[in-house]
Amino acid sequence: MFLNEVNRTFESVIDPSFQSKYDRWCERRESKDAGHTPFAADDELGDDFEILVLRVCLLSIQSLPCPGYPAFGVLNTHLNQLENWFCSLADELEASQKQERKPSIVAVQHKLCHVCYLIKYAKVRACWSALNAAIKEAHETGLHRRDDNAAVDDLEMELRRQIFWNLYVWDRYMCVYFGFWPLIPEGYFDVELPRDLFRPLTATPGSVTTFTDRVYHIKIARYITAFTSPPSWKADRHNASLVAEFAQQFQVLVVDQLPSIYWLDNPDLRLDTVEPAIPRKRQFLHLAIYHTKASLYRAFADPFNRLHVETNTPPKHTPDLLALSHRRAYMDAICKAISCLVQLFASTTEKSGSAAEKLFLLPVWLIDALACLGVCFLSIQADERRLANQGLQISPDQDLKCCLVTFLNTFDILRRGASRSAFVKKGLEALETLYQIVYTSPCRELLLKSNEESEMATLGAFSVRGTEEWLPSFLEKPDRAWIFQQKSFFSDLLS
């Protein structure tokens, strides 16, 4: 189950390396039970591998459809009791290890599994601490350096590359979403990208593998780092021309290079039956791409600075038509991200879905996307009010209809699931005023019922009242971490 389903998204354990070690570990366990020599402390199948097996089991338990998943007849206890026991056992084994033990790649792997486990339960600080420990272990094993040792075979070399770059992606993920400083600084490593040569899905030369999607996650992480790392970033992200250049480069260097099974439009679905994990990998990769596009345009949610004036927030960019087009591109990227998120969120309610994936990540991403889309609608209303005050008639923009429908429908979907998620409930409470402003907009009814361009909207008074607690922060900090720094959203639910 773990290798075929749970490991599908993060590839935290690399098969077949793990499978071969696991088979040998089982044989050694049987020999040990028969009275043969026990594992040595520095054995690659010793304590670290046993911790890895426990962490793998924990990820598997966490990813079952629900805590009450039937296990009797196979296990003599409930899964939640088994999960608590495995957690305690893994922590005890790790705590009992000697400080002078030899660092190992297996230890990096079990620490990375722990990172994946913790983030799904919203244990952000513990997750970052575990990631810090994993990266420290990787540094001590030399994973940050190019290894040209001829004694290391190709599989081992590829394993080292994949593990390092998985850590890199996680490090950048924690920086982008939670505002942490990077643990892997740029320029302090010398590692090739994974060559992605093992376990091709077809016999065709150059065929994609089970790791291909992760290679593109790595490219995305490197690209967004190039955009956000330079000292000039805080100014550059408000420069409409520079953002347009970065967006074009991202399209050429990443999106246009996608293999056909991961195309954003009309992907090749023939391999979906060969590798059942492909559809889910595709959704998460598309989500990462749309999130990246949205991040590029994030500072232009309010291109003419109307909301900045309403909230007394200093404007940081010059209003122009390019800035206006960036808002439309921003809304388009958000709507496509929401489409991916809704499909993933819905799949977690199915028997084959993962309960853990809807506990934190997907609901929070949906709330964040709704906030971003809603702010764009606020900005549009403010622009229209300004034009109306100048005596101009306002005709609803039919191109916005899809965005508005997405906003309203997604709100309804989350409301139906609010009783099952504290994060959804808290997020909807924080966004209720925003929803009401958009829902009661005079343009909404015309936009949803009419296709006649001649109809005009009679605008009422515009106000951002009720959003003062979080809207200034949204406008001042155009990055993904803003929502986790607001008390009105999730701060009391994170640990």
- Let me know if residue 293 belongs to a domain: no
Statement to judge: residues 187 and 318 lie in one domain:
no
Q: Which value, in Å, is the radius of gyration of the alpha carbons in the chain? A: 25
pLDDT of residue 454: 47
Does residue 232 belong to any structural domain of this protein?
A: no
Q: Which of 145, 167, 198 is the last residue of a domain?
A: 198
Residue 94 CB neighbour total at 10 angstroms:
18
Q: Contact, 184 vs 171, CB < 8 A?
A: yes
State the DSSP string of 273-295.
TTSTTHHHHHHHHHHHHHHHHHH
Other C-beta atoms within 10 Å of 467: how many? Answer: 23
Record the pTM: 0.88
Average pLDDT, the chain: 82
pLDDT, position 67: 54
Sequence-distant (≥ 6) Cβ neighbours of residue 329 within 8 angstroms? 247, 293, 297
Q: Give the model's pLDDT for residue 168.
A: 95
E strands of 382-467, at which residues?
none
The answer to whether position 292 is within a domain reads no
Please check whether residues 175 and 314 belong to one and the same domain.
no
Query: Could you check whether the bond before residue 205 is cis, i.e. omega within 30 degrees of 0?
Result: no
> Do both 12 and 151 map to the same domain?
yes
The strand ranges marked E within 229-344 are: none
**pLDDT tens-place string over residues 167-226:** 999 999 998 888 888 999 888 888 888 887 777 777 676 678 888 999 999 999 999 888
Q: Is residue 123 domain-resident?
A: yes
Kindly indicate the confidence band of residue 406, based on its pLDDT and cuts at 50, 70 and 90. Answer: very high
> Could you tell me if 489 and 343 lie in one domain?
yes
- The answer to whether residue 268 is domain-embedded is no
CB 337 within 8 A of CB 276: no
| One domain for residues 305 and 194 | no
Mean pLDDT, residues 235-252: 93
Residue 281 maps to a domain: no
- Boundary (domain end) residue, out of 140, 172, 198: 198
What 310-313 contacts at long range (C-beta under 8 Å, 24+ apart), as own/partner pairs, is 310/382, 310/463, 310/464, 311/464, 311/468, 311/471, 311/472, 311/475, 312/472, 313/472, 313/475, 313/476
CA-to-CA distance for 62 and 283, rounded, in angstroms?
Answer: 20
Cα–Cα distance, 290 to 251 (Å, whole number): 11
Per-residue tokens: 63: 């990813």
- Residue 376, domain member (yes or no): yes
- Report whether pLDDT(234) > 50: yes
> What total of structural domains would you count in the chain?
2
Residue 242 pLDDT grade (very low, low, confident, very high; cuts 50, 70, 90): very high
Domain that holds residue 467: 301-450+457-494
End position of a domain, from candidates 171, 198, 225: 198
Tell whether 285 is covered by a domain. Answer: no
